[in-house]
Amino acid sequence: MALVPVPAWTDEQMALFFDSTVKAALSYGLTSIHDAATTPAMIAFMKKRWTDTHEYWGSEISRLINYGKHGRMTVRSIKFYTDGALGSWGAALLEPYSDKLDTTGIMRSTPKALANFGRTVLERWVASRVIEGKSIGGTVKANVTECRPRIEHAQIMTIDDLWQMKRLGVIPSVQPMRATSDMWYIKLAPNRIKGAYAYKTLLRGSPHHVLPLGSDFPVEGVNPLLGFYAAVSRLSVDGTSPHGEQGWYASEALSRAEALKGMSLDAAPVVF
């Protein structure tokens, strides 16, 4: 069986997806969306969507589509995919899966390639900041530390990794609904489950006590209340879990204040 290339989306298809996504977000009161899987074609399309609404936005068009920090659209994050999904045994583990001992998952890139990629991105980012007027002398270190590297889907970590992230200044980013979706089929040995979906532990060890909470939409629902409930209860929407009504590993549940902060104040700075 041969792999068939997936045709590129047409403008009509992107318009349909774009409009339905915006309407769904607005229906729940969301005013901004983070998307770390946007292609150049999609970016060009979104710029065109604002241009097409000139009668509504008028002279504000130039400002609205500005890529800078004062615009409605920013293009800054770079996402590097490293492994696959947990349910299909694609997530790369350090040891074999407890229910599939012949595999440790799939690494989509080698450690060397990942290191080279990160180094290249950092060097080019610092260079661009210097070009923008930052002096080299005393600000190169500041420029480097202004980068906010994060691990997206920081779901299955070793205990050592949790504290190593704090030392390196790496921000963990999680999606609470992934915990309550995965808890029904995740099979890890007791010594490994301690670092899985460990949101309270991640928050304690995170640089500056920051733990951004996302939705993983469209894999999960866009309604932020679903993620909020999952974060504080560690329960499915029907109030159940493999550990009963107290929640799945309830000690890793966040407080309401922590969950709200994670979905707002903590989520904002990771897009710098």
30 alpha carbon, distance to own chain's centre: 17
Range 137-157 average pLDDT: 65
Most distant pair of Cα atoms in the chain: their distance: 61
* Angstrom distance (rounded) from CA 87 to CA 190: 18
pLDDT in tens, 75-133: 777 777 788 888 788 888 888 888 888 988 888 888 888 888 777 777 766 555 443 33
Dihedral of the alpha carbons of 46, 50, 51, 52, in degrees to the nearest 10: 100
- What CA–CA distance (Å, rounded) separates 211 from 267? 8
The rounded distance, in Å, linking the Cα atoms of 191 and 175 is 22
- The backbone torsions φ and ψ at residue 241, rounded to the nearest 5 degrees and listed phi first, read -160, 165
* Sign for the pseudo-dihedral over CA of 92, 212, 185, 218: negative
**Bigger pLDDT: 76 or 167?**
167
Q: What's the distance, Cα to Cα, between the start and end of the chain in Å? A: 44
Q: How confident is the model at residue 178 (pLDDT cuts 50, 70, 90)?
A: very high
Give the residue extent of every domain in the chain: 9-77, 150-272
HSE (CB half, 13 Å, CA atoms) of 140?
6
Label residue 60 by pLDDT band (50, 70, 90). Answer: low
What does the alpha-carbon distance between residue 252 and residue 214 come to, in Å, rounded to a whole number? 17
Burial class (CB in 10 A: 0-12, 13-18, 19+), 87: exposed
Rounded Cα distance between 5 and 98, Å, is 34
C-beta of residue 194 within 8 angstroms of C-beta of residue 231: no
207-219: pLDDT as tens digits: 788 999 999 888 8
53: number of CA atoms within 13 Å, CB side? Answer: 12
**Which is it for strands 150-152 and 171-173: parallel, antiparallel or unpaired?**
parallel
The CA distance from 81 to 107, in Å, is 9
Q: Are 159 and 191 in contact (CB under 8 A)?
A: no
Give the span between the Cα atoms of 213 and 179, in whole angstroms: 12
Whether residue 249 is predicted with pLDDT greater than 90 in this model: the reply is: yes
Q: Is 248 helix (H, G, I), strand (E, B) or coil?
A: coil
Domain 150-272: give its CATH code.
Answer: 3.20.20.140
Chain segment 27-41, per-residue pLDDT in tens? 999 888 888 777 778
